[in-house]
Amino acid sequence: MIKEEALKELEAIVGQEHVYTDPAFLATYSRDISITYERWPDAVVRPRFTVEIQKIMRWANKWKVPIYVTSGRGFEGYGGPVSPFGGLILDLARMNTIHEINDKLYYVVVEPGVTYRQLVRELEKNYPHLMLDVIGGSPESSVLGNTISRGVGHTWWPYCEHFECLCGMEVVLPTGEVVRTGSGQLPGSKSWHIFKWGFGPWIDGIFSQSNFGVVTKIGLWVAPRPKAYDWVAIAAPKPENAGDILEFTGKVILHNIIGGGVTISNAVASFACNFTYPWEINGGTAPLPREWIEEMKEKHHIGEYTLFGPIYADSEEALQAKWKTLKEILKQYPELYLMDRADALNCAEIAHRVLYDQLGRPHRSLWGWAHWRGGGLSFYSPIAPFTKEAGLELQEIGVKTTAKYGFDYMMKYVAGLRAIHHVGLLTYKVPDELDRARRCFLELIKNYMDAGYYPYRVNPFAQDYLLSRIDRGYLLVCQKIKKALDPNNILMPGYYVPE
Amino acid sequence: MVKYPNLEKVATWRSKGDIFYLCTICRYCISETYEYLDGEDKSAGYQNLCPTFDLWEHEAYSSLGRISIARALYEGKMELTDKALELIYACSLCGACREECFARRRTKYYEIHEAKPSPFDPMEILLALRRDAVELGKGPLPVQQGWMKQIVEKNNPYYEAHEARLDWLKPEIREKLPKEAEVVYFVGCTSAYRQKNIANATVNILEKTGVNYTIMDPEEWCCGSPAYMTGRMDVFKRQLEHNIEAVKKYKAKRVVTSCAGCYRMWKKEYPETLGVKLPFEVLHTVELLQELVKNGKIRLENKVEKTVTYHDPCHIGRHLRDGGELYKPLFEPPREVLQAIPGITLKEMPRKLWYSFCCSSGGGFRSAFPRESIEIASRRVKEALDQKVDALVSTCPFCYRNFKDAIEEKKFNIELYDVVELVEKAMA
């Protein structure tokens, strides 16, 4: 519990109307759709300015109140604004200023509360020649939040790897000081958001997926809108093709044929974008019968895996040249085939990728996954190489582990430049299946880690589990940094760095 | 643990209390989607559909916040605090959240993949919450309890004498109102006591067109909508029973009302609450006008040179979704009538039809949150002004009243009309 006197001081910092302690307000911060345990914070504060955050940090040190940070609400498959330790939630949704859109040098400077929807609207309205790489989650997600969580999007390299495009941060340290990274450290520098490295040690990385500071501003490079665009949908018909599709994807990405934001979904994940779990045919049990999956694949003309990728180029000629190379590479995999475009667009997921994501427009249709069984969705996301072996192994582990707990194996791959993010979708009915989902989730993480596939990002629910595997030397460095920057351990204790 | 019997009734889908978890906090209930806009940036600057979120900019003031409260109360994780009470009444029950709610859309397909009514309805959850608040002796809010007493004692929520209900009516017309007629014009409290311009225009049209009509003098009582919306079902049922019996006494074949709130009650809630089909037809004035224009009884010959925009009232719009043969939203009739008026050019606002942005006078909101209500109405008026029109037009005295106050307070340069007023101007 936070003392009354402390709350009065907090109200003096941001104004009484931005400090919430009544359960009627706290209720919205008590749960998310993931496997996170329900937990109520003691209070929520919604500051507007960096200087207020500085004061809040000093306040937290004085009163020894732990702080959990969130930037509004987005897609919560990796966990939402639910503090695992109670304390104070620092909700940065009100910090929603777009400080700069540089349409000559193609970057934006945003605060944590700026959402994909907000930024895309601004770009579409006033800077149509710029394009933001958007995520497949929710338009309400924070651009800054996704970037520092190292999220990925759906256009092309390097823009689809969001942290790669981050250039210059403003961070409030847990003790209240402000640090500007990269060229921002150099007084009067004209290169803060165009030259990442600045001078001396490059420290931006330590503020991503960490609890070393509250990031209050970032520069982010945005893409020029491509002159030519097309899309491709390729099906891998059988489970045995799990390796082929992955290897093929690696080749077309490495040769810059398809944009790095390519997505591959398995059949059940695709169904979940079009309709909901067929309780009636399966008596409420899972996994779904193989015959039913085959029947639906045939009915909807989709493969066991379906790749949908953007092709961008500077001209129509260059686009056609890419198509030619793509078809040549495809010949090496006789079982993979180009999908009929009309069939492909009947698949809601593909339609939304090609009509929205790949054109830099966020959408929300993928919330369908959360409704597949009844309100619950958690992502488990091991990283893997673009190899046949990995494709088959990832599938085998996923199918076996989910089936053991009575769930279906649902996943999508999102590509990086040298590795693939296997975004597993654990969907469940809440509250009935939640405990079972938690156990399944942990075993999925374990089994993938045992096979050498570690998650690129993980729900706070499972972080201890993951951190128990991490190399001691690495953890020691992290813990020393944490102790130096946050001596009272007030900022997100245990988040990505064990106490 | 405190029991919430009304929440209990709506809480179960497949297992006890699971309905609340169908809300995946996706925020569809708050703002428009690209899907709705077909990818076009038609509504830049008007993204929010939820008026109270638009104003307070906090999820607690949206459907997802209220569903979180409902879940926590139902599961005994919090008490019904004063703030919680305020939040569940800080909503005009406009239903925009229900239109966009993704859980609602998806759960239509939970059974054999064919559309069926969804088990998940954010409006029903909020109504249940309000009814429970009443039954626990906490709701509605004090100011609402004040006018509720007036409804019981004086048959209107405006603290006016029942005897004054038809004071706006010309004595010569009032005197000859028959005790039996084909049509009962149900004036409604707001037109009777506040927006008398709408009542007068309606009666003038009825007189000119020779419709065999009457007004229930002195039997007309408040339709009960304010009681229904704030959870006082006992008061609502009292009004319902009285009004239906009164119409029967007049042997009317049709009840016509110029109020969107009254229309919803007569058309939807009365028969649904009683579980019977009413022995007479219920129409909104715009439906009657549409009919009279079509059959030539109204000749619109005077030019009304105006560019106007039309505001869809929630109660005759999206509130009438999924009514099958019984009821449907009145989107077409007002537009058809307006476009039949010579000289009128209709320009639509970005937020229209199912996605109309509420004026926020309904659901007991205006009385409990007057300043906020005017502010929200002002935002809607600004949206109208942005379309570069001469006038904002609607078909609900309650919307009219809120817009009127907003226009006066903020000194907006825009005219305001009810459809009946424009029709009256245009009639030969």
| Interchain proximity B107–A276, CB inside 8 Å | yes
Q: Look up tokens 């570690």; give the residue.
A: A454
| Interchain proximity A125–B71, CB inside 8 Å | no
- B104 chain-A contacts, CB cut-off 8 A: none
Instruction: Check residues B114 and A457 and name the one with the higher pLDDT.
Output: A457
Task: Name which of B110, B120, B129 to mutate to probe chain A: the one with the most chain A Cβ atoms within 10 A of its Cβ.
Answer: B110
Q: Looking at the complex, does the CB of residue A22 fall below 8 Å from at least one CB of chain B?
A: yes
The CA distance from B308 to the nearest CA of chain A, in Å, is: 26
Could you tell me which residues come within 8 angstroms of residue B195 by beta carbon, excluding any fewer than 6 positions away?
B397, B400, B401, B404, B418
- Which ipTM did the prediction report? 0.94
d(CA A406, CA A284): 10
| Interchain proximity A275–B65, CB inside 8 Å | no
Which residue segments constitute the domains of chain A, with CATH numbers given? 98-224 (3.30.465.10), 228-459 (3.40.462.10)
Q: Which chain B residue is nearest to residue A352, measuring alpha carbons?
A: B35
Task: Name which of A89, A354, A356, A364 to mutate to probe chain B: the one with the most chain B Cβ atoms within 10 A of its Cβ.
Answer: A364
Average pLDDT, chain A: 94
Averaging pLDDT over each range in A298-307, A339-348, B214-223, which range is the top one? B214-223
- A17 chain-B contacts, CB cut-off 8 A: none
| Interchain proximity A356–B39, CB inside 8 Å | yes
Averaged over B263-267, what is the pLDDT?
A: 98
- Summarised one tens digit per residue, pLDDT across range A39-59 is 999 999 999 999 999 999 999
Q: Which chain B residue is nearest to residue A378, measuring alpha carbons?
A: B24
pLDDT beyond 90 at B149: yes
Question: Torsion over CA of B394, B400, B404 and B406, rounded to 10 degrees?
Answer: -90
pLDDT beyond 80 at A91: yes
pLDDT beyond 50 at B39: no
Q: Looking at the complex, does the CB of residue B209 fall below 8 Å from at least one CB of chain A?
A: no
Averaged over B173-197, what is the pLDDT?
A: 98
Q: Looking at the complex, does the CB of residue A116 fall below 8 Å from at least one CB of chain B?
A: no
Residue B9 structure tokens? 């009734």
**Cβ atoms < 10 Å from Cβ of B323:** 13
Half-sphere exposure of A363 (CA within 13 A, CB side): 26
The answer to whether B187 and B220 have CB atoms below 8 angstroms apart is yes
- Residue type, position B76, single letter: G
Banded model confidence at residue A356, pLDDT cuts 50, 70, 90: confident
Question: Residue A23: which region, alpha, beta or left (left: phi > 0; alpha: psi -120 to 50)?
Answer: alpha
Q: Looking at the complex, does the CB of residue A23 fall below 8 Å from at least one CB of chain B?
A: yes
| Interchain proximity A28–B59, CB inside 8 Å | yes
Q: Which of B68, B83, B112 sits opposite A28 (nearest CB)?
A: B68
Averaged over B128-132, what is the pLDDT?
A: 98
| Interchain proximity A276–B71, CB inside 8 Å | no
The CA distance from A367 to the nearest CA of chain B, in Å, is: 7
Averaged over B323-345, what is the pLDDT?
A: 96
- Residue type, position A111, single letter: E
Longest Cα–Cα distance of chain B, Å, equals: 66
Banded model confidence at residue B207, pLDDT cuts 50, 70, 90: very high
Residues 139-158 in B contacting A (C-alpha not used; CB under 8 Å): none
Q: Looking at the complex, does the CB of residue B68 fall below 8 Å from at least one CB of chain A?
A: yes
Instruction: State residue B37's pLDDT score.
Output: 44
Question: Residue A167: which region, alpha, beta or left (left: phi > 0; alpha: psi -120 to 50)?
Answer: beta
Instruction: Check residues A119 and B100 and name the one with the higher pLDDT.
Output: A119
DSSP letters for A222-253:
-EEPPSEEEEEEEEE-SGGGHHHHHHHHHHHH
Instruction: State residue A69's pLDDT score.
Output: 97
Residue A378 structure tokens? 């958690």
Buried b or exposed e, range A318-355, using 16+ CB within 10 angstroms? ebeebeeebeebbeebeebeebeeeebbebbbbbbbbb
The C-alpha angle with vertex B76 and arms to B74 and B82, in degrees rounded to 5, equals 85
Averaged over A257-270, what is the pLDDT?
A: 91
Could you tell me which residues come within 8 angstroms of residue A489 by beta carbon, excluding any fewer than 6 positions away?
A66, A482, A499
| Interchain proximity A277–B21, CB inside 8 Å | no
Averaged over A126-133, what is the pLDDT?
A: 94
Average pLDDT, chain B: 94
> What backbone phi and psi angles, to 5 degrees, belong to B26?
-80, -15
Distances, alpha carbon A1 to alpha carbons A40, A371, B278, in Å: 11, 35, 57
Q: Looking at the complex, does the CB of residue A299 fall below 8 Å from at least one CB of chain B?
A: no
Least Cα distance to A452 among A387, A406, A378, A379 occurs for: A387
Residue A270 structure tokens? 């695709």
| Interchain proximity A363–B22, CB inside 8 Å | no
The CA distance from A10 to the nearest CA of chain B, in Å, is: 19
| Interchain proximity B27–A22, CB inside 8 Å | no
Class of residue A419 by CB neighbours under 10 A (exposed 0-12, middle 13-18, buried 19+): middle
Question: Torsion over CA of A61, A66, A72 and A73, rounded to 10 degrees?
Answer: 170
Q: Looking at the complex, does the CB of residue B243 fall below 8 Å from at least one CB of chain A?
A: no
- Summarised one tens digit per residue, pLDDT across range A420-479 is 999 999 999 999 999 999 999 999 999 999 999 999 999 999 988 888 899 999 999 999
Class of residue A154 by CB neighbours under 10 A (exposed 0-12, middle 13-18, buried 19+): buried
Q: Which of A126-140, A198-212, B371-385 shows the lowest per-residue confidence on average (mean pLDDT)?
A: A126-140
Q: Look up tokens 């619950």; give the residue.
A: A376
pTM of the complete model: 0.95
- Summarised one tens digit per residue, pLDDT across range A144-193 is 999 999 999 989 889 999 999 999 999 999 999 999 999 999 999 999 99
Instruction: State residue B36's pLDDT score.
Output: 45
Instruction: State residue A12's pLDDT score.
Output: 98
Averaged over A269-286, what is the pLDDT?
A: 83
| Interchain proximity B25–A278, CB inside 8 Å | no
Could you tell me which residues come within 8 angstroms of residue A73 by beta carbon, excluding any fewer than 6 positions away?
A80, A81, A93, A138, A140, B25, B27, B59
Instruction: State residue B27's pLDDT score.
Output: 86
Residues 230-289 in A contacting B (C-alpha not used; CB under 8 Å): 275-280
**Cβ atoms < 10 Å from Cβ of A126:** 10
* Coarse DSSP helix, strand, coil percentages of chain A, rounded to the nearest 5 percent: 40, 20, 40
Residues paired with residue B393 on neighbouring β-strands, in sequence order: B310, B417
Instruction: State residue A8's pLDDT score.
Output: 98
Banded model confidence at residue B112, pLDDT cuts 50, 70, 90: very low
